[in-house]
Amino acid sequence: MRFGTGLTPCYNKSALRTRIRRIQRRKIVSIVLVVAVLLFAVRVLLVRAGSPLQLAGPNLVANNNFAIDSDNNGIPDGWTTAFPDAKGIQRRKFTVTPGSGYSMYIAGVNNWLRSPLIDVRPGESYLVSLQALADNTEPNKQSPTQVELWFHWLDARGIDFNIDLSDRQTVPYRQWAAITATRQAPPRAAQLSISIHPLTDDRIVVDQFRLSQVGVHIGAWPNGKAAALAFSFDYETEMGGLIHTRSEDDPNATTDPQQRAQRMRAGADLILALFQREGVRGTFYTTGYNFLTGNRDGRVFMNNPTYTWATTDNRWATNYWQSHPWFSSDPHTDEQANPEWYFGSQVRRLYAAGQDIQSHTFAHFAGSYVGPDDWRADFAAWKAVAAEQEIAPATSLAFPWSSSAGMTAQSWQVLADNGIRSVTRTNWSQPRFALADRTTYALRPLPINKEITVIADEYVQPPQLPQLEARVAAAVANGGAIDLWAHTEETVSAAQQATWQALVHVAKQRCWIAPVPEIVAYHTTVRDLRVVVRSEQPQYVFQITNPDNTDLHGLTLTLPMQPKTVQIGGVRQAFTSNQLQLDLPAHHTVEVTLWPA
C-alpha cells in the first residue's frame, strides 16, 4: 500500500494484528488493576464498617441490653430520659429475638432515651447501631415513622459541648430495621453518649443497641473492670476536727473529743484488719498531729495561728477559737501518756501495711476561709512531720468539712504547686459551688487548674447501704470512679463493720479498688496514651505508647476483631478473645499484631 509516489508501506497485516493483541493485553491488565483497586477499596470500606474483620469492635456501652434496673423504676441503670417521671418510656420484653431480654418503648416527639457514657478519644470514629420498629396500635395510624440519633460529645469537665445529629432514618411499621450512624470525635471530646429521638408522636421500639469504636478501644480501668472505687477515711487525732468541731453532718460532732479520738484509733485498726483480710488498700486522709509520737519539746507549728473566722456565724458551736491559738490545747506529752493526741506509731503501721496516707490538712482548717499563705504554711508543716515518718508528700487532699467553696485561684495554685493532683470531700450541699460529678461519677478536672482532678465522694452510713450500692452501680454504668468514705471513729460499730464488708463485696465484682491517687494517675495516663495503626491487611498491626511517668498494669484493650493469633512485643501466641490485657511501663511502646480468625 502506498500513500504516494516513493512512500513505503507503514505496516503489514501481521504486524497490525500483533500490535492490536499487545494493546488488548495492556487494556486487560489495566482493567484488572482497576478492578483490584476497587475491590480493595470496597474491602477497606467494609472493614471500616465492621465486615469482614469487624473493625468497629465490640459493644462499649454498659447495660446495652437494658437488663439491669436495680431501683425498679422502669429505666435501665445508666440510661436517662427526657422527663423525670420517664413518661412515655417503657421497658418491655418484646425483642428482635424472642426471649432474649428487653427492648425500650419511646413515645412522644419531645421524648428521648439517652445511653450511658463511654470514654472517647479525639479523632477516633464511633459507630452506633440499633434495631427499631414503629408500633402504633391505633388502626388508622399504623404507618412508618422516622428517628434521629444524637451524638453528645462531652469534654473532660462533663460539659455537653457538641451534638452531632445523624441523618433521619425510616422506622418501618411492625418490622425491625437497622438504624446506624458513624461520627468522629471532635477535639476536646472525652466522653460520648447517644440519645434516640422519635420525630413524630408514633411509638417506636428499640432493641440491640450497640456503640463501638472503629479500631482499638482503650479501657478506662485495668483488668477489664467497669469502674474504679476508692475506700477512704478522715483520720484525725483529738487535735484535728474533734476539738475544733464544726461538722453539721457528723453524728458524733457533739460528743467528747477524747472519746472520739480513742474511737479514731480503734476504728483505723479495725479497718486495717478488714482490708488485710480482703486484700484491699484504702486512703487515710490524715491530719498533722497523727504523725507525731509526742510533743514534749513544745514544737510550734504554722506559728500557732488564731483563726478569727471560727465563729458561730460560720457555724462553729462557740466563738472560742476566734480568740485562741489553734494548737493551744496540745498537752505537750507523748503517745504513751496521751494516745488520743498523737498517732505516730499507728500511722507507721498503716503505711507499712501498704495503706495510702494523704492529706486532710495539717491543721484541719476550713478551706473556705483561709488564704494562700495559710495553705503554704499548712503544706510545709504536713510535709515536715510526714517526712519524719518516712512518708512521701501528699498528692491528694480531702477538704475538712467539705470546705472547698470560696477557694481562690491563688489558693488552688498553692495546692498544685505542692503536688496535689486530686481532691475529694468537696462542697456537696450548695450546687453553685459543686465540683464533683455525683451523677455519672466521672473524674473531672478542676476548672481553674487541670492539673488537679476532682473525685466524687459518698458518705458511708449503714442505713444508706441500698443508696450507696445504687451509686456504685451508676459509676459502673458510666465507667466512672467513686470514693466511699467515713471517719475511722465510725467504723467501730458492728453496723459499720457489716456495711464496709458488704461494700467491699459489691465493689470487687465490677470495680477496680485502689487508693484515690492511683485511680487518678491511672486515669490521667490512659488519656495520654497514643495508638497508631500500622496496617490493617493482611494482619492488623498497631503500636501503643505510654508517654507518662506512670506504669500501667492490666491495661485492657478491646480489639476490633477476635483474632486467632496475637503477637505482643515479638512474642506470638494463640488467642480466643476480643479483649487483650497487657502491662505498659512508663515511656514505653509496644507493637501488637493480630491475625484474623
What does the DSSP assignment read for 141-184? G---EEEEEEEEEE-TT--EEEEEEPPPEEE-BTS-EEEEEEEE
Contact 227, 482 (CB under 8 A): yes
Does residue 164 fall inside a structural domain? Answer: yes
Which helix H or strand E contains 486, and what residues bound it? Answer: strand 481-487
Residues 6 or more apart in contact with residue 564 via CB below 8 angstroms: 574, 575, 595, 596, 597
Same domain, 443 and 294: yes
Give backbone dihedrals phi and psi of 8, rounded to 5 degrees, phi first: -90, 160
Q: What pLDDT, on a 0 to 100 scale, did the predictor assign at position 99? A: 84
Q: Among 503, 523, 543, where does a domain finish?
A: 523
Cis omega (within 30 of 0) for bond into 538: yes
* Reported confidence tier of residue 249, pLDDT bands at 50, 70, 90: low
pLDDT digits (tens, 9 = 90+) for 273-287: 999 999 999 999 999
Same domain, 35 and 93: no
Domain extent for 429: 234-523
Cell of 143: 404507618
**Which three-class secondary structure state does DSSP give residue 290?**
helix
Task: Output the average pLDDT for the chain.
Answer: 89
Q: How far apart are CA 520 and CA 152, in angstroms?
A: 24
Same domain, 133 and 281: no
Same domain, 275 and 423: yes
Does residue 481 fall inside a structural domain? Answer: yes
DSSP class of residue 242 equals I
Q: Among 477, 504, 523, where does a domain finish?
A: 523
Total of domains in the chain: 4
Does the pLDDT of residue 374 top 60, yes or no? yes
Does the pLDDT of residue 37 top 50, yes or no? no
Average pLDDT over residues 363-383: 97
Q: What pLDDT, on a 0 to 100 scale, did the predictor assign at position 56? A: 72
Q: How far apart are CA 193 and CA 116, in angstroms?
A: 6
Which residues does residue 178 pair with via DSSP β-bridges, in sequence order? 131
* Reported confidence tier of residue 500, pLDDT bands at 50, 70, 90: very high
Q: What pLDDT, on a 0 to 100 scale, did the predictor assign at position 597? A: 83
β-strands 356-359, 283-286 pairing? parallel
Please report, as a single letter, which amino acid is at residue 427. N
Q: Among 476, 506, 523, where does a domain finish?
A: 523
Same domain, 271 and 313: yes
pLDDT digits (tens, 9 = 90+) for 267-318: 999 999 999 999 999 999 999 999 999 999 999 999 999 999 999 999 998 9
What pTM, to 2 d.p., does this model score? 0.85
Residue 12 C-beta-side C-alpha neighbours within 13 Å? 2
Does residue 397 fall inside a structural domain? Answer: yes
Does residue 5 fall inside a structural domain? Answer: no
Does the pLDDT of residue 13 top 70, yes or no? no
The CATH number assigned to the domain holding 555 equals: 2.60.40.1180
Does residue 128 fall inside a structural domain? Answer: yes
The CATH number assigned to the domain holding 374 equals: 3.20.20.370
Does the pLDDT of residue 47 top 80, yes or no? no
Q: How far apart are CA 468 and CA 503, in angstroms?
A: 8
Residues 6 or more apart in contact with residue 559 via CB below 8 angstroms: 57, 216, 578, 579, 580, 594
Q: What pLDDT, on a 0 to 100 scale, did the predictor assign at position 139? A: 74
Give backbone dihedrals phi and psi of 210, rounded to 5 degrees, phi first: -145, 130
Same domain, 371 and 276: yes
* Reported confidence tier of residue 205, pLDDT bands at 50, 70, 90: very high
Dihedral (CA of 180, 185, 186, 188) sign: positive
pLDDT digits (tens, 9 = 90+) for 525-561: 999 999 999 998 899 999 999 999 999 999 999 998 8
Closest Cα to residue 175, out of 201, 197, 145, 148? 145
Does residue 69 fall inside a structural domain? Answer: no
Please report, as a single letter, which amino acid is at residue 174. R
Q: What pLDDT, on a 0 to 100 scale, did the predictor assign at position 248? A: 56
Same domain, 210 and 289: no
Does the pLDDT of residue 3 top 50, yes or no? no
Same domain, 372 and 250: yes
Same domain, 182 and 303: no
Does residue 223 fall inside a structural domain? Answer: no
* Reported confidence tier of residue 392, pLDDT bands at 50, 70, 90: very high
Please report, as a single letter, which amino acid is at residue 419. G
Contact 391, 357 (CB under 8 A): yes
Same domain, 327 and 445: yes
Q: What pLDDT, on a 0 to 100 scale, did the predictor assign at position 292? A: 98
Same domain, 206 and 252: no
Does residue 537 fall inside a structural domain? Answer: yes
Contact 129, 147 (CB under 8 A): no
* Reported confidence tier of residue 140, pLDDT bands at 50, 70, 90: confident
- Residue spans of alpha helices (H) in 246-335: 257-278
The CATH number assigned to the domain holding 155 equals: 2.60.120.260
Cell of 348: 507507721
* Reported confidence tier of residue 204, pLDDT bands at 50, 70, 90: very high
End-to-end CA distance of the chain: 65
Same domain, 154 and 244: no
